[in-house]
């Protein structure tokens, strides 16, 4: 028994044992290999999850900017359409094309259905 105690006291951890990897051959590390593998897998999962989240946030920002650009474009086209469909612009266009169309002098009236 005294020999085992002497062996344990002789096997002190030194920098040479840590760098050389001899510390991984100790009894404690042999018993805890499954736990260490589980911790490594969880660390890898955490790193991957964070990276994927950052990529999604970058994509969301890009899509938000694109959406704003599309909204401004739609607003511009809508205002152009409103400008072109005004009555005065239509009358001006018809006058330049020498068409037989004229602006109605009679007001519009409502047709009612008889039930």
Of residues 70 and 5, the one with the higher pLDDT is 70
Q: Is the pTM of this model over 0.85?
A: no
DSSP secondary structure of 46-65: HHHHHHHHHHHHHHHHHHHH
Confidence at residue 5, expressed as pLDDT on a 0 to 100 scale: 55
Please tell me the predicted confidence (pLDDT) of residue 62. Answer: 98
66-92 tens-digit pLDDT: 999 999 999 999 999 998 888 888 888
Rounded Cα–Cα distance for residues 90 and 45 (Å)? 65
Does the pLDDT of residue 14 top 60, yes or no? yes
Name which residue leads in pLDDT, 80 or 26.
80
Q: Which position has the higher pLDDT, 110 or 10?
A: 110
Confidence at residue 3, expressed as pLDDT on a 0 to 100 scale: 57
Average pLDDT, the chain: 85
Domain extent listing, the chain:
16-96
For 82, the token pair is 């409103």
């Amino acid at each position: 028994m005294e020999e085992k105690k002497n062996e344990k006291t002789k096997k002190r951890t030194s920098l040479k044992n840590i760098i050389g990897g001899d510390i991984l051959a100790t009894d404690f590390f042999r018993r805890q290999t499954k736990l260490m593998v589980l911790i490594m897998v969880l660390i890898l999962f955490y790193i991957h999850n964070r990276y994927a989240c950052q990529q999604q946030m970058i994509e969301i920002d890009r899509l938000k900017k694109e959406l704003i650009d599309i909204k401004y474009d739609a607003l511009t086209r809508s205002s152009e359409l409103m400008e072109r469909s005004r009555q005065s612009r239509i009358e001006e266009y018809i006058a330049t094309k020498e068409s037989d169309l004229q602006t109605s002098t009679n007001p519009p009236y409502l047709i009612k259905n008889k039930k």
